[in-house]
Copies of this chain bind each other. A is one copy, B any other.
Amino acid sequence: VKRPVDWSLYLVTDRRLAGDRPLEEVVAAAVRGGVSAVQLREKECPAREFVELARRLKAVLEPLGVPLIINDRVDVALAAGADGVHIGQSDMKVDDVRRLVGPDAIVGLSVDSAEQPAPLDLDYLGVGPIFPTGTKADAGPALGLEGLARLRAASRHILVGIGGINATNAAAVLGAGADGIAVVSAICAAPDPEQAAAELRAILSAAKRQPRRGCNPV
């Protein structure tokens, strides 16, 4: 049985941005600051090292009840006993992934428009890039808050905005209909990842007190 996941502040890792700091330390600090879910994204990492890294993150996150999601490599997620997989449009198809990981694992998918089909058994959609970003080399043009709002209107999925989101625009992303924000550089590149996460958490908590969609009261 699936337990509910808090997608409000979703950290996507980037070891280059973490610099000399071990990734598990950056992640642990981010969780202390309020990160509620973590995606391990490694595009150049050999599978053996990827599994070892995933296991180290799992050892940090599992006792805290924070889910660990693996980007792209379903086999790495299965080997490390991660909570789920995040896939992009050129990664394995959703139904193949679901068959491999089973019904209880988390499966999330990147989408960049309301036109991309998204099976209903997905646990969330990563929507982006919302704003221009230098973190993901193959990211398409930015959707903007308008694109996010269109997707919100078209989709019943949990939507997590990603791409160029930071303390200056996080509230606007929630205001446009996202259920949470995913950040890479705003935490991984921060001198103090715990403080950066805590600042975002405070912004999100304040924003959540507002009506979630920009509709006019009748």
Contacts and interface: CB of A to CB of B under 8 A. Distances in A.
A77 to B, nearest CB: 8
Q: How many copies of this kind of chain does the complex include? A: 2
Interface string A36-60: 0000000000111101000000000
Contacts of A91: 46-48
Majority SS of interface residues in chain A?
helix
A52 to B, nearest CB: 9
A92 interface: yes
A99 B79 CA distance: 8
A20 interface: no
Contacts of A48: 89-93
Interface in A58-114: 72-76, 78-79, 87, 89-93, 96, 99-100
A146 B48 CA distance: 30
B100 A78 contact: yes
